[in-house]
Amino acid sequence: MPNFKHVIRPTNYNRTNHMLKLKFRTNVPVISGSCASVHVKMADEAVCVGPAPTSKSYLNMDAIMEAIKKTRAQAVHPGYGFLSENKEFARRLASEGVTFVGPDTHAIQAMGDKIESKLLAKNAKVNTIPGFDGVVKDADEAVRIAREIGYPVMIKASAGGGGKGMRIAWNDEETREGFRFSSQEAASSFGDDRLLIEKFIDNPRHIEIQVLADKHDNALWLNERECSIQRRNQKVVEEAPSTFLDPETRRAMGEQAVALAKAVKYSSAGTVEFLVDTKKNFYFLEMNTRLQVEHPITECITGLDLVQEMIRVAKGYPLRHKQADIPINGWAVECRVYAEDPYKSFGLPSIGRLSRYQEPLHVSNVRVDSGIQEGSDISIYYDPMISKLITYGSDRAEALQRMEEALDNYVIRGVTHNIALLREVIIHPRFVQGDVSTKFLPDVYPDGFKGHKLTDLEKRELLAIATSLYMAEQLRSQQFLGSPRISLAKLDLNNWELSIQLGDGTYSVTVSNNGSTFSVEVDGMKLNVTSEWNLASPLLSVTIDGTQRTIQCLSRDAAGNISIQFLGTVVSEGQEICVIEAMKMQNSMIAAKTGKVKALHCKAGETVGEGDLLIELE
């Protein structure tokens, strides 16, 4: 049985952290100019494998193999992407006597090909979606097959994954168009343009089963993960367990997942994905022969360290647990925090440098898996994920409450991010009730995500907070080395009357001050706002009549203009948050500007630099 001392692994710091806990010497491949990266700092040794483009670095198998030889690594943990499901990489490692911390090449090959995996699933008595099991030759054959199956159908790449090479067709014309686009996308993404067609299950849930198997014919299912909140067939919010499954359905799905794993002699952690309809019928979708991005929520409810188990299996040890030992303890939720603009197609990538970055680790039962830090660059070359934010609770309500608090306390500056969308999803009544499907986002936001819509009470709270923040700054400006400035005119320093503009409305506000509390009367309602009023902090915890709110001060200029984030959202881009009139001076709190596009100064595919003029607005 091998005794690992040197393990090489990809770029994600929490995986390195696992190796450190297991007392392995960790080596990581890096790209040019990434010496200050988090994973590099945590590793024992780092080896440059090329420049930033993935084809010249992390997908360059020769460069990775050379790094393995240079560091004399005895094992490789492939992480989530890049070469993690590449059978040729696993084969080359085996030929060099290096252990691949994952399944063998046969399982990777069998499950990586959607046509072959579906046939194997059928033979293993796993429920499969009705469809054509062969390779579709051309658009005419695609139309014929789609008519036989019955519309709607799903056209997807045989070697695909991650939502690439997938199209839904509702008629002949869409089938022809879908065949053309899917084959082109599959060829460019996977180097394989083969397609298959199957029945499209409308309005399903996406529920997956985590499996763990060893080299001694033992296999377990570690319960399910609900992954239905998606955009462009990519997951955004996940939770474990699912609100939808009853014990009988959970057991049936788990047993079928294990049957499939045993059918391909699988050994490692893997995930069998299913589509589940409204009647709890479930159908095999695909098997991912690697660790999933969302695996932490399974770790939370089972207490198992999946990476540790993968390494034990790779070393040849049998599993330490029986199926009866696998619990469901509590509830866990994961939000994928992306450098994306959620107001554009639920998330178009944003690049830039993290000018300020503060993870909400002070919130209890919060885990943040990230590979970045303040000053890191989000580049055009990689997935724009900033982190995985995970919260755990004794029940779902507690896990969601902690997630809301964690999102409110997550400080990210320098790039556009999707926290506003994540927060809206987890507090939406449909999500809270567990009424979700893969169509959740387009159903709930048919015109696209527009940000948080303030209720009447929330508007008053915003007016009260903005007023109090303004007055706290005014009072501070009247201090000189901790003492009040000498005024020529007698002023009432405890009571003020202000005029505030919010959207299209103008509100008369009266405010009084008593220590750290401001009493604000707006629309006949009096609200007491209390805080430490630390105007230098990016986070400000305020209490409004016993209700705690966290606001973020996003920016502040020399003129005193402040941009704030309230309830997870910067109140609509381009919209004036509020204008405060005091002593005939107006002070505007604004978010970023929005307008019509006047001119474009860049083209698709061009590389642009900081300070370049890209778009003019009018």
CA–CA dist 345, 513 (Å, integer)? 44
Judge whether residue 306 has pLDDT over 80: yes
Local structure of residue 114 (DSSP, 8 states): H
Residue 112 lies in a domain: no
Q: Which domain holds residue 588?
A: 583-617
What is the total residue count of the chain? 618
Are 461 and 444 contained in the same domain? no
Q: Specify the range with the lowest mean pLDDT, choosing from 254-268, 388-402, 537-551.
A: 537-551
Residue 391 lies in a domain: yes
DSSP string, 131-173: EE-S---SHHHHHHHHHHH-SSEEEEETT--TTTTEEEESSHH
CA–CA dist 77, 80 (Å, integer)? 9
Residue 436: HSE in the Cβ half-sphere, 13 Å Cα cutoff: 29
For the packed helices 114-123 and 105-112, what is the interaxial angle rounded to 10 degrees? 100
- Selection from 85, 327, 123, 311 nearest residue 221 by Cα: 327
Sign of CA dihedral 409, 410, 412, 418: negative
Q: Are 195 and 164 in contact (CB under 8 A)?
A: no
pLDDT of residue 482: 60
**Active site amino acids:** 286
- Selection from 294, 369, 360, 303 nearest residue 330 by Cα: 303
Query: Residue 142 to residues 171, 186, 587: CA-CA distances in angstroms?
Result: 11, 16, 62
Which CATH number characterizes residue 439's domain? 3.30.470.20
Q: Which residue has the higher pLDDT, 114 or 212?
A: 212
Q: What separation, in Å, do the N-terminal and C-terminal C-alpha atoms of the chain show?
A: 68
pLDDT of residue 132: 85
Residue 439 lies in a domain: yes
Residue 386: partners with Cβ closer than 8 Å, 6 or more residues away: 337, 338, 339, 370, 372, 378, 412, 415, 417
CA–CA dist 305, 18 (Å, integer)? 9
Judge whether residue 9 has pLDDT over 70: no
Q: Are 602 and 525 in contact (CB under 8 A)?
A: no
Query: Residue 18 to residues 21, 37, 323, 359, 428: CA-CA distances in angstroms?
Result: 5, 17, 24, 20, 35
Q: Which residue has the higher pLDDT, 145 or 597?
A: 145
pLDDT class for 483, splitting at 50, 70, 90? low
pLDDT of residue 68: 92
Are 91 and 15 contained in the same domain? yes
pLDDT of residue 609: 52
pLDDT of residue 525: 93
Judge whether residue 407 has pLDDT over 70: yes
pLDDT of residue 41: 84
pLDDT of residue 52: 85
Q: What is the arithmetic mean of pLDDT over 453-463? A: 91
CA–CA dist 71, 259 (Å, integer)? 38
Are 258 and 295 contained in the same domain? yes
pLDDT of residue 12: 46
Longest dimension (CA), the chain: 91
Are 463 and 541 contained in the same domain? yes
Residue 408 lies in a domain: yes
Q: Which residue has the higher pLDDT, 80 or 531?
A: 531
Are 376 and 361 contained in the same domain? yes
Q: Specify the range with the lowest mean pLDDT, choosing from 67-76, 156-165, 234-243.
A: 156-165
Residue 484 lies in a domain: no
pLDDT digits (tens, 9 = 90+) for 239-248: 999 999 999 9
468: Cα separation from own chain's centroid: 34
Are 526 and 549 contained in the same domain? yes
- Selection from 542, 515, 514, 511 nearest residue 526 by Cα: 511
Q: Which residue has the higher pLDDT, 357 or 494?
A: 357
Q: Are 26 and 19 in contact (CB under 8 A)?
A: yes
Local structure of residue 98 (DSSP, 8 states): P
Residue 319: HSE in the Cβ half-sphere, 13 Å Cα cutoff: 23
Pairing verdict, β 195-199 and 153-157: antiparallel
Q: Which residue has the higher pLDDT, 155 or 492?
A: 155
Q: Which residue has the higher pLDDT, 504 or 533?
A: 533
Residue 572 lies in a domain: no
Whether this prediction's pTM lies above 0.95 is answered by no
Neighbours of 327 (CB within 10 A): 12
Q: Determine the Cα angle at 448 with ends 447 and 451, to 5°.
A: 115
Are 341 and 430 contained in the same domain? yes
Neighbours of 455 (CB within 10 A): 10
Judge whether residue 440 has pLDDT over 80: yes
CA–CA dist 443, 402 (Å, integer)? 26
Buried/exposed 60-82: b ≥16 CB within 10 Å, e otherwise? beebbbebbeebebbbbbbbbbb
Are 511 and 372 contained in the same domain? no
Residue 114 lies in a domain: no
Which CATH number characterizes residue 552's domain? 3.30.700.30
CA–CA dist 606, 148 (Å, integer)? 44
Judge whether residue 481 has pLDDT over 60: yes
| Mean pLDDT score across all residues of the chain | 86
Neighbours of 88 (CB within 10 A): 12
pLDDT of residue 474: 83
CA–CA dist 588, 502 (Å, integer)? 10
CA–CA dist 108, 125 (Å, integer)? 20
pLDDT class for 156, splitting at 50, 70, 90? confident
Q: What is the arithmetic mean of pLDDT over 318-322? A: 97
pLDDT class for 163, splitting at 50, 70, 90? low
Q: Which residue has the higher pLDDT, 327 or 568?
A: 327
- Selection from 249, 225, 410 nearest residue 299 by Cα: 225
Q: Specify the range with the lowest mean pLDDT, choosing from 346-350, 388-392, 409-413, 579-583.
A: 579-583
CA–CA dist 537, 542 (Å, integer)? 13
Residue 404 lies in a domain: yes
Are 298 and 321 contained in the same domain? yes
Q: What is the arithmetic mean of pLDDT over 47-55? A: 87
pLDDT of residue 615: 62
| pLDDT above 90 coverage of the chain, percent | 58
Are 429 and 343 contained in the same domain? yes
Are 18 and 33 contained in the same domain? yes
Q: What is the arithmetic mean of pLDDT over 36-60? A: 85
Judge whether residue 14 has pLDDT over 60: no
Local structure of residue 102 (DSSP, 8 states): S
What is the enclosing helix (H) or strand (E) of 303?
none
pLDDT digits (tens, 9 = 90+) for 565-609: 887 655 433 333 344 333 323 333 333 444 555 666 666 556 555
pLDDT class for 17, splitting at 50, 70, 90? low
pLDDT of residue 573: 33
Are 187 and 277 contained in the same domain? no
Q: Report the number of distinct structural domains present in the chain.
A: 6
